[in-house]
């Protein structure tokens, strides 16, 4: 297994550290041809308008959309925004990979960053400490989307069975359960497509 980490902007280095800790081969992705070496991809948190600009400047948009049809992607914070089907504006154009919509920065501005307990449905509702930094809030969820985690009864962790997205930053802290869940999804997808 080789997991790519989109390294155009944002918090990609901490995702790389977690993959290294878990012993998962990984590669920092900046160009489309590098996706050919990957079984899955992580799109990190960062700034969604800047990420949009870099994705388009590097001619990655069509390659990422094609990659998403058969390979799992994990998106955190801005990565979640990029995977959503939120309506585009002139500065921010999501990839429209998953059927949900968000409101950007809805948990507050940078100064309002916080951490809180997230209830996970896949671990007997055991909680995980999540860090929210200018986090998107989910405002609409499609029929084929499953909620994997909530904060104060609001969905913050979603999957469509192949891809996974979070409003918070699971790469901050020592709890690796979200990344392990994603790796299990990658293993299932690899076995399905091989």
Alpha helices in 22-114 (DSSP H): 48-57, 61-68, 78-83
Catalytic, 179? Answer: no
Contact partners, residue 168, CB within 8 Å, separation at least 6: 76, 77, 118, 130, 131, 132, 135, 151, 156, 157
* Catalytic pick among 15, 38, 171, 179: 171
Distance CA 74, CA 16 (A): 13
Catalytic, 169? Answer: yes
- Degrees (nearest 5) of the Cα angle 73, 74, 79? 105
- Helix (H), strand (E) at residue 158: strand 154-159
Which residues are paired to 29 by β-bridges?
A: 6
Catalytic, 38? Answer: no
Residue 78 structure tokens: 């801005």
* Catalytic pick among 15, 77, 163, 179: 77
Length of the chain: 194
Closest to 16 (Cα-Cα) out of 55, 42, 34, 51:
42
- Which sequence positions are flagged as catalytic? 77, 169, 171
């Amino acid at each position: 297994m080789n997991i790519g980490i989109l390294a155009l902007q944002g918090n990609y280095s901490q995702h790389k550290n977690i993959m290294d800790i878990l012993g998962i081969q990984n590669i920092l992705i900046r160009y489309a041809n590098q996706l050919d070496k990957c079984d899955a991809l992580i799109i990190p948190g960062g700034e969604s308008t800047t990420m949009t600009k870099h994705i388009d400047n590097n001619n990655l948009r069509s390659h990422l959309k094609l990659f998403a049809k058969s390979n799992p992607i994990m998106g955190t914070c801005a990565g979640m925004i990029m995977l959503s089907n939120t309506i585009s504006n002139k500065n921010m154009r999501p990839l429209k990979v998953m059927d949900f919509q968000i409101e950007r920065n809805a948990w507050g501005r940078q100064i309002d960053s916080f951490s809180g307990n997230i209830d996970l449905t896949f671990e007997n509702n055991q909680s995980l400490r999540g860090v929210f930094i200018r986090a998107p809030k989910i405002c609409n969820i499609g029929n084929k989307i499953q909620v994997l985690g909530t904060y104060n009864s609001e969905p913050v962790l979603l999957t469509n069975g192949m891809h996974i997205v979070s409003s918070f930053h699971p790469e901050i802290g020592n709890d690796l359960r979200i990344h392990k869940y994603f790796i299990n999804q990658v293993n299932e997808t690899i076995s399905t497509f091989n």
